[in-house]
Structures are given as C-alpha cells and as structure tokens.
Structure 1
C-alpha cells in the first residue's frame, strides 16, 4: 500500500506543482493588463476579463523587443537605455549586476551551465553535481597557480541558490549528461536518475 501511495505521489506532485506555477505566472502576467489605458482594457472592450491574455501580451512584447534589437537602430536604442540606467545611483548597481548575469546565462556564446560536472563538495569523499560556468579571470586568475575552472554548485531542491567555487580542473569530472538531466537529478534529490528512471524503484 505504501509503495502504491508513493507511486501516486510521484505522478500527481509534479503535475500539481507545474499547474500551480503556470497558474501563478499567468495570473501575474494578467496583472500587467492594468497598465493599459481604461479605454482599451479587455474588460472595457469585451465586458469581462480574458484569462491568459496578459501572458500572450507579455510574450508578444518580449518577442517584439528581441526582434527590434536585432537591427542597428534597435541596438543603439538598447545602448542608450543601458547608459541611461547606469547614471542612476543604487539602481545602477542592481541593473548592472542583473544584466551581467543574464547576458552570461542566456548568451549563445557563453559557457554558463553548458556542462554538468561531478565534484567533491563540501568535503573530500562527498560528491555532488555542479555546472561549469567558465574560468577565473581578472586579478583572481593571477593568484591561482595552475589550471582552474569556475563552477556553480546548486542546492537541492532549489537550484537557483548555491555556491560559486574555483577548483583545479583536475579535481572536476565532466559528466556525459545534459544540463537538463542534471537539473532534474538535483531537483528530485536523486530520485529521478539521468534517463528519466527512478533511482529508488525498490522503495517500500
């Protein structure tokens, strides 16, 4: 009975959490419609709210923004936008930091989260999954003797927090595993092994 109950949870918990996250995101995006003038608000035009319209509008705005910046004029507008924000105290620090991280993570030429690694952390003999983020640079590199790599060690089950480490390349093991598979393995706390199989199939 315990085995069947756990199996049922493994089916419904991911589905329930996924639906809850999607519902929350759509609701949050729908709130962006409140920024529209009252004359063109969906409730004013159609007599009632349209669920999901905010999500569609948000995706459309993001897509058009990317399309606009693909040409020279758009690129100049973005550069002007960046320079403007970098003149504002306090806001400058936050905006610059977030932009550097997003440029690193989402750039097609970046190295962030491109390889899954096996490293010993937090002590020798204890192994965990990490991600290659690049190589140390700047003044830091001058103080490191030898070949080092920068790695990100995520926490479980929330991989958005973790630890940044610089380790000798010889101390990391590159895994024959995609980043998506590694993230699933981390989030599931080792339950979902690479390949989609459950590593605790004998539980119960």
Structure 2
C-alpha cells in the first residue's frame, strides 16, 4: 500500500502544483476584466463567468501596445508619456528604476541571466549556482580592487527571490549549462540534475 500511495503522489502532486500555478496566473490576469464596463462583463452578457477571458484580454493588450508603439507615432507618444512621468517626484524615481530593470531583463540585447555560474556561497567551502548579471558600476566599482562581476544567487525552490553579490571574477566558474537547465536544477533543489552534455 505504501508503494502505491507514493506512486500516486508522484503522479498527482506535479499535476496539482501545475494546475494551482496556472489557476493563480489565470486568476491574476483575469483581473484585467475590471477595466471592462460592467454591461460587457461575461456574466452579464452570457450569464456566467468564463475563466481565462481576462488572460486573453491581457495578452491582447500587451500585443497591441507593442504593435502600436513600434512606429514613429507610437514612439513619440511613449516618449511624451515618459517625459510626463519623469516630472512627478516620487513616480519618476520608481518608474525609472523599474524601467531600467525591465529593459535589462526583457531586452534581446541585454546580458541579464545569460550565463549560469558556480560560486562559493554562503562560505568558501560550499557552492551554489548563480547567474551573471553584469559588472559593478557607479561609485561601487571605485571601492572594489580587482576584477569583479555581479552575480544573482536565487533561493530554492523560489528563484524569484535571492541575493545580489559582487564577487571576484577568479572565484566565479562559468558553467557549460543553459540558464533553463540551471533554473530547473535550482527549483528542484538538486533533484533534477542537468544532462552531462549542454543543450542549446
């Protein structure tokens, strides 16, 4: 009975977690329906709610925004909008910081999370996987003597939180491993080991 129970868990737990995550994502995206007038809400049009309509609406808004801003007129409107936001004291610093991070993470020409590395952490006799994010800049580099790199060390099993470290390049070992394989290794707490041969 114990064997069958564990087998059932191994099958159902991944399905349950996947369904929970999808439900959380779709439920969050469905909040975009709040911008739709009440008389056009699915429950008032057809008599009941349809899960996922808000997710489709969100994806459509993102796609249309990218389509409309990918021309001279759209770029002009975006520049004017950003100029307006930059004049608002608190909003300007918050928006500027978030925009710099998003541009770095989502830009095809960015270098964020492009390389998995092995670093000594939290002490010299243990190691973990991190991701190169660049090199120290600003006044920080004036106080670091030597060749340093910036590394993001994610936590397990939630890689969206972690630690930002500036480490000597000589102590950082670049891994012959894709970022996706490294993330799977981290999220699985080392259970799902990457293949010996790197995957492109």
Q: TM-score, normalised by structure 2?
A: 0.88
1:57 is aligned to 2:57: yes
CA 74–123 in structure 1, closer or farther in 2 if over 3 Å, else same: same
The within-5 A match list for 1:20-99 is 20-99=20-99
Cα deviation per residue 1:15-60 (whole Å; 9 max; x = unaligned)? 2112111112222222321321233322333232222111111101
Aligned twin of 2:169 = 169
The within-5 A match list for 1:193-204 is 193-195=193-195
SS at match of 2:151: strand
Q: CA deviation at 1:93?
A: 2.8
Cα deviation per residue 1:68-88 (whole Å; 9 max; x = unaligned)? 121121112222222222222
1:189 is aligned to 2:189: yes
SS at match of 1:90: helix
Q: TM-score, normalised by structure 1?
A: 0.87
SS at match of 1:128: strand
2-side partners of 1:53 and 1:14: how far apart? 25
For this pair of structures, how many residues does the alignment match? 196
Aligned twin of 1:102 = 102
Aligned twin of 2:14 = 14
Unaligned runs of 5+ in 1: 197-204
Aligned twin of 1:136 = 136
2-side partners of 1:9 and 1:72: how far apart? 55
